Every structure is written in C-alpha cells, then in structure tokens.
Amino acid sequence: MAPLETFLVSRFMVFVLVLARTGMLVMTAPIFGTLSMPRQVRVVLAVAISLLITPVFLDSSLPAIDSTAEFGRLLVNELLVGMLLGLGINILFSGVQVAGQIVSQLSGMSLANVTSPGFDEDIPVFAQFYYFLTVAVFVGVGGHRIVTRSLLETFTVLPPGRAALGNSFVEVVTGIMTQSFVLGVRAAAPL
C-alpha cells in the first residue's frame, strides 16, 4: 500500500473502533437506547461522539493488524466493552422495574398494565411509575453526564484496539444481573 493509503486506513480503523464502543453504549444505555428515541437520532449521536473522541487517539498506535479477522476480533472487543457499560446501567434500571412489578403484585394492581414505550411491552403501572421516576432522578443527578464521562474513562484505561475481555466478562454480567434482582427486592421490601 502507498504511505498515504496506509495512513488513511489506520485513521479510519481508529474511528471505526471508537464508533463501535460508543455506538454500542448509545444503543444499550437507558436514556440513549430507549425505543422511544428514533434510531436515526441514536446513530447521529454515536457518530458525533465518536468524531469528538477519535482525534485524541489518532496518534496512538494500534496493535498490528494483519488480517480482517484480527480487525474483527478488535471490533468485537470494542462492542463488548460498550455493551457491558450500557447494559450494566440498564440492568440496574430493570431492577427498579422489578421492584415496581413486585409492588403491583402485592397491591393487587398487577392487572392494570400499560404499554411501556421504552421496552415495547405491557408492564404493570407501578413498574412504569418506578421506571420513569428512576429516569427522572437519573437525569436530575446528571447520570447522562456520568455515563458520558464513564465512556471517556474507558478510552483512557483501554484505548481503541487495546480492549480485551477475558474470562471475567461472564462473571461481571452475572454479578450485575444478580445485583439487579437484589436491588428490585430491596426497593420493594418496605411496601
């Protein structure tokens, strides 16, 4: 390859890796990834954030990429990091929704279901109320800024192309899901 072509391809690969992590976070995080937000808005948001982050890493070197399969492996690792960050937050929101479902069962209001725009399914009224209350508190305390800062910190700890999730990935997801259900039971316990 010509030097200019190699230069441009390496820059584009950095952008794609940053976009993979950012895009997966935007698609899975509670506020950004809800079904009520149009897909085009989420794509534009992911590309805009990626365009802001990419120049920081243009001078950093990527690991040696000899084949498309190697780049695919790096891309999957970036996707998993973004998904883990987004789903970690989303699972905690689901724990609050579980608390609402438990409260609905205990109060006898479990037959009063509404369609949730965020999950595209019928859920009890209390679960919907708890979910929207949690979203309001999340935005009120600046949770969306905290999520964005967390994304930026992942790039500090694991630069593009350096993300590698070992055997602990399954353990982390299992731990987050366990804590989600524990949170749901604890939040419903007083009622």
What are the E-state strand segments in 79-166? 113-116, 121-124
pLDDT of residue 177: 65
Pick from 188, 168, 60: nearest CA to 124: 188
pLDDT of residue 139: 82
- Percent of the chain whose predicted confidence (pLDDT) is above 70: 70
The better pLDDT of the pair 7, 159 is held by 159
Report in angstroms the alpha-carbon separations of 26 from 20, 56, 59, 141, 188: 10, 20, 25, 19, 29
* pLDDT, average across residues 82-97: 79
Q: What integer best gives the mean pLDDT of the chain?
A: 75
User: How does DSSP classify residue 125?
Assistant: H
pLDDT of residue 59: 73
| CA–CA dist 169, 107 (Å, integer) | 38
* pLDDT, average across residues 114-136: 69
At 145, the amino acid letter reads R
The 10s digit of each residue's pLDDT in 171-185 is 766 776 676 656 555
Pick from 30, 21, 12: nearest CA to 151: 21
| CA–CA dist 144, 107 (Å, integer) | 33
- Phi and psi at 35, nearest 5°, equal -70, -20
The 10s digit of each residue's pLDDT in 11-23 is 788 888 889 989 9
* Per-residue tokens: 185: 């039971």
* pLDDT, average across residues 112-122: 58
The better pLDDT of the pair 176, 128 is held by 128
- Burial (Cβ within 10 Å: 0-12, 13-18, ≥19) of residue 62: middle
| CA–CA dist 86, 148 (Å, integer) | 11
The whole model's pTM is what?
0.74
* Sign of the CA dihedral with 170 first, then 29, 159, and 43 last: positive
- Please give the torsion angle defined by the CA atoms of residues 53, 94, 39 and 49, in that order, rounded to the nearest 10 degrees: -10
Q: Which range in 39-48, 119-128, 157-166 is most confidently predicted, on average pLDDT? A: 39-48
pLDDT at 60 over 60: yes
Band (73; pLDDT cuts 50, 70, 90): confident
pLDDT at 54 over 60: yes
